[in-house]
Structure 1
Amino acid sequence: MKIAVLGAGNMGISFSKSFLKYELIKPQNLHLITRNQQKKAKILDEFPGSQISSFGEIKELDADLIIVAVKPQDFSFVAENLPFKISENSLVLSIMAGISIEKIQKALHHQFVVRSMPNSPTLLGMGITGYTAAEGISFNQLIQIERLLNSTGRSVYLQDENLLDGVTALSGSGPAYFYYIIDAMIKAGVEMGIEENLSKLFVKQTMLGAYHLINNSDKSLEELIKDVASKGGTTEAALKTFDENALKETLKKGILSAENRAKELNG
């Protein structure tokens, strides 16, 4: 299988590394295409056995799968200025937020499109990707795509493409929400007189431990909260303040704003 990655940014590179790590593709069958000529040397160092090209250098592209990994805001420009024709036999996999299958099909004049939404933990092989496909793509092709996506973590097939904007808001943007909350906790620790590195250690280990408790417990989130929040105790005082300031509602509104922005990107 020959794979071309159009847009060798963080996500395109992390996908490529995962494919190579799990030997799903040979280095010589990987072609990374960057719009930034100055990045070529650095990418060559990371992928010594693969083909690295800048956008304007390609006249023909020999690939079974083309991964479109450019920023969604740049997609229309890239599609209009594509210097090569996509083969009818190629499959296109988009990892762009917000851009619908129909828009990709029209812009690239190509029918066979799979749309997916990964998140940044794919960099560690711990991501999750929601994906859906255009009509006409075979079951075997979808299995092949899922195998590639699973090399970056986990993947979930969605029958309804409309759900992908919600996935974008929930898991695509999701890591930033956790970083935001963790940052607030660390800063609270510093304000209480705990040295910053020590505050980070307490918060990060607490987050890690809480994740494993959620993953290994049959209890609901409400029950797990009650296990920590004893009547009249310190946790109850914090949760009361969160509720008084509508923290949960604010977080939900933020996530819905992210979904709305994903829909706008397709406009």
Structure 2
Amino acid sequence: MKIAVLGAGNMGLSFSKSFLKYELIKPQNLHLITRSQIKKEIIKSVFPDSEISSFNEVKELEADLIIIAVKPQDFAFVVENLTFKIPGKSLVLSIMAGISIEKIQKFLKHKFVVRAMPNSPTLLGMGITGYTAAEGISFSELMNVERLLNSTGRSVYLEDEKLLDAVTALSGSGPAYFYYIIDAMIKAGTEMGIDENLSKLFVKQTMLGAYHLINNSDKSLEELIKDVASKGGTTEAALKTFDDRVLKSILKDGILSAEKRAKELNQ
């Protein structure tokens, strides 16, 4: 299999590293295409045996799978300035937020499109990706795509493309929500007099431990909360403040705003 990646940014390079790490493709069958001439040499140092090009250097593209990894805001500009045609038999895999299969098909004049939404933990092979596909793509082709996506973590097939905007808001943007909460907790620690590095250690280890408890317990989240929040205790005082300030509703509204923005990107 030959793979071309249009837009060799963090996500495109992350995918490429995973494919090579698990030997799903040979280095010489990977073609990374970037808009930045400056980045070419940097990318070449990381992928010495692969082909590295800028967009305007590619006159003809040979690839079984073409991954569209540019920012959704840049997609129209990139398409208008392509110096090559998408081969008719190639499968296109888009990892752009918000841009629908129909719009990708229209812009590229190409019908074989798979749309996926990964998240940043794919950088460590611990991501999760929701994906769906246009009509006319065979089961074996989808299995090949899923095999590639699973090299970056886990993947889930969705029959309803509309759910991808929700996936974008929930897991695509999700890591940032956790970083935001962790940052607030660390700052609270320093305000209480704990050294910043020590505060980071306490918070990060707490998050890690809480994750493993969720993953290895049969209890519901409500039950796990009750296990920590004893009557009249410190945790209950914190939770009461969160409820009084409707923190849960604020977080939910923020996630719904992310979904709304994902839908706007397709306009």
Range class of TM-score, shorter chain: over 0.9
**Matched residues, number:** 267
**In the TM superposition, what are the counterparts of 1:215-230 in structure 2 within 5 Å?**
215-230=215-230
Aligned to 1:88: 88
Aligned to 1:234: 234
Q: Which string of whole-angstrom CA distances, capped at 9 and with x for unpartnered residues, describes residues 72-118 of structure 1?
A: 00001111111101111100000000000000000000000000000
Runs of 4+ deviating beyond 6 Å: none
Partners in 2 of 1:197 and 1:39 — Cα distance?
33
Decide which moves more: 171-180 or 77-86: 77-86
Paired amino acid for 1:40:
K
Say if 2:259 is the partner of 1:264: no
Give the secondary-structure state (helix, strand or coil) at the position aligned to 1:67: strand
Aligned to 1:137: 137
Paired amino acid for 1:181:
I
Aligned to 1:12: 12
TM-aligned CA deviation for residue 252 of structure 1? 0.2
**In the TM superposition, what are the counterparts of 1:2-81 in structure 2 within 5 Å?**
2-81=2-81
Partners in 2 of 1:64 and 1:103 — Cα distance?
21
Give the secondary-structure state (helix, strand or coil) at the position aligned to 2:142: helix
Paired amino acid for 1:145:
V
Aligned to 1:193: 193
Partners in 2 of 1:17 and 1:45 — Cα distance?
13
Aligned to 2:111: 111
TM-aligned CA deviation for residue 265 of structure 1? 0.2
Q: Which string of whole-angstrom CA distances, capped at 9 and with x for unpartnered residues, describes residues 7-49 of structure 1?
A: 0000000000000000000000000000001100000000000
Partners in 2 of 1:75 and 1:9 — Cα distance?
14
Paired amino acid for 2:250:
T
Partners in 1 of 2:224 and 2:161 — Cα distance?
33
Gaps of 5+ in 2: none
TM-aligned CA deviation for residue 133 of structure 1? 0.1
Partners in 2 of 1:86 and 1:56 — Cα distance?
14
Give the secondary-structure state (helix, strand or coil) at the position aligned to 1:79: helix
C-alpha root-mean-square deviation of aligned residues, in Å? Answer: 0.3
Q: Which string of whole-angstrom CA distances, capped at 9 and with x for unpartnered residues, describes residues 190-235 of structure 1?
A: 0000000000000000000000000000000000000000000000
Paired amino acid for 1:38:
I
Aligned to 1:102: 102
Partners in 2 of 1:215 and 1:15 — Cα distance?
26
Partners in 2 of 1:40 and 1:79 — Cα distance?
20
Aligned to 2:150: 150
Partners in 2 of 1:202 and 1:81 — Cα distance?
50
Paired amino acid for 1:81:
N
Fraction of identical pairs, as percent: 84
Aligned to 2:208: 208
Partners in 1 of 2:167 and 2:79 — Cα distance?
25
